[in-house]
Amino acid sequence: MGNLLGVFNTVEEAIEAADAAQKLFIKGFTIDDRERMISEIRKVFIADAEKIAGMTVEESKLGRVDDKIQKVMLAATGTAGTEVLSTNVFSSHQGTTIEEGAPYGVIGAITPVTNPTETILGNGISMIASGNAVVFNVHPSAKNVSAYGVNLINEAIIAAGGPVNLITMVKEPTMETMQEIAKSPKTKLLVGTGGPGLVKALLNSGKKVIAAGAGNPPVIIDETANIELAGATIVASSSFDNNLLCIGEKEVFVVDSVADQLINVMANSGSYLLSKEEVVKVTELVFTKDEENAAKPCTEDVRSQFHLKKEWVGQDAIKILKAIGVTASADIRNLIFETDFNNPFVQIEQMMPVLPIVRCTDYEEAIKFAVEAEHDNKHSAAMWSNNIERITKFGKLINTTIFVQNGATMAGIGFGGSGTTTATIATPTGEGITNSMTFTRRRRFAIGNGGNYIL
Would you tell me which residues interact with ligand NAD (CB under 6 A)?
110-115, 139-140, 175, 178, 193-195, 197-198, 201, 212-215, 246, 349, 423-425, 427
Shortest spacing between CB 102 and ligand NAD, in angstroms: 25
Closest to ligand NAD by CB, 212 vs 255, is 212
Shortest spacing between CB 124 and ligand NAD, in angstroms: 15
Closest to ligand NAD by CB, 283 vs 380, is 380
Shortest spacing between CB 182 and ligand NAD, in angstroms: 8
d(CA 240, CA 249): 10
Shortest spacing between CB 52 and ligand NAD, in angstroms: 17
Shortest spacing between CB 347 and ligand NAD, in angstroms: 14
Shortest spacing between CB 449 and ligand NAD, in angstroms: 46
Which residue is nearest to ligand NAD, using beta carbons? 194
Closest to ligand NAD by CB, 10 vs 88, is 10
256-267 and 227-238 helices cross at what angle (nearest 10)? 60
Closest to ligand NAD by CB, 338 vs 374, is 374
Residue 137 backbone dihedrals phi, psi, to 5 degrees: -110, 100
d(CA 199, CA 382): 24
DSSP category for residue 413: G
Closest to ligand NAD by CB, 282 vs 423, is 423
Shortest spacing between CB 433 and ligand NAD, in angstroms: 9
Residue 348 backbone dihedrals phi, psi, to 5 degrees: -110, 135
d(CA 271, CA 278): 14
User: Kind of pairing, strands 106-110 and 187-193?
Assistant: parallel
d(CA 304, CA 285): 18
Question: Residues with Cβ < 8 Å from 29, sequence gap 6 or more?
Answer: 162, 163
Closest to ligand NAD by CB, 320 vs 402, is 402
CB 273 within 8 A of CB 263: yes
Closest to ligand NAD by CB, 139 vs 171, is 139
Closest to ligand NAD by CB, 201 vs 235, is 201
Residue 413 backbone dihedrals phi, psi, to 5 degrees: -115, 30
Closest to ligand NAD by CB, 359 vs 379, is 379
Closest to ligand NAD by CB, 163 vs 215, is 215
Instruction: Return the number of other C-beta atoms located less than 10 Å from residue 3's C-beta.
Output: 6
| Distance (Å) of CA 323 to CA 168, 315, 318, 401 | 40, 11, 9, 36
Cα 215 to the center of its chain, rounded Å: 9
d(CA 382, CA 390): 12
Task: State the DSSP H helix or E strand holding residue 335, giving kind and residue range, or none if neither.
Answer: strand 334-339
Shortest spacing between CB 217 and ligand NAD, in angstroms: 9
Residue 206 three-state SS: coil
d(CA 400, CA 151): 36
d(CA 199, CA 213): 6
Shortest spacing between CB 203 and ligand NAD, in angstroms: 11
Shortest spacing between CB 62 and ligand NAD, in angstroms: 9
Q: Which amino acid is at 238?
A: S
CB 380 within 8 A of CB 404: yes
